[in-house]
């Protein structure tokens, strides 16, 4: 899978910054990105996943699944933009 290869290349490039125990839940991050893009705004997708990763890192490897769940709920409840 191309995405798996990309994640491995990122791990190699970022090496020391990631640490050996970093697990990437591709499905959870793509799901929250999709919801953010459709419920908030397209550019919200990459910014949302970055901030989830940042928050997890600041929490010493916080629970990414829980952060994704909370952020997905927030995005799903986001009011639509007035037309």
pLDDT at 19 over 70: no
Residue 38, H or E segment = helix 26-39
pLDDT at 1 over 90: no
DSSP classification of residue 61:
S
Q: Would you say 75 and 44 are in contact if contact means Cβ atoms under 8 Å apart? A: yes
Domain ranges of the chain: 25-83
Q: What is the pLDDT of residues 24-70, one digit of tens each?
A: 788 999 999 999 999 999 999 999 999 999 998 888 877 889 999 99
Q: Can you give the pLDDT at residue 61?
A: 79
Q: Can you give the pLDDT at residue 22?
A: 67
The residue ranking higher by pLDDT, 79 or 11, is: 79
CA distance 8 to 74: 30
Q: Would you say 75 and 51 are in contact if contact means Cβ atoms under 8 Å apart? A: no
Q: What is the pTM of this model?
A: 0.84
């Amino acid at each position: 899978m191309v995405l798996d290869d990309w994640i491995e290349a990122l791990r190699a490039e970022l090496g020391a910054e990631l640490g050996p125990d970093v697990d990437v839940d591709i499905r959870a991050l793509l799901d929250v990105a999709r919801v953010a893009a459709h419920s908030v705004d397209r550019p919200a997708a990459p910014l949302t996943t970055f901030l989830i990763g940042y928050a997890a890192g600041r929490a010493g490897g916080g629970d990414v699944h829980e952060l994704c769940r909370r952020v997905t709920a927030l995005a799903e409840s986001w009011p639509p933009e007035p037309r």
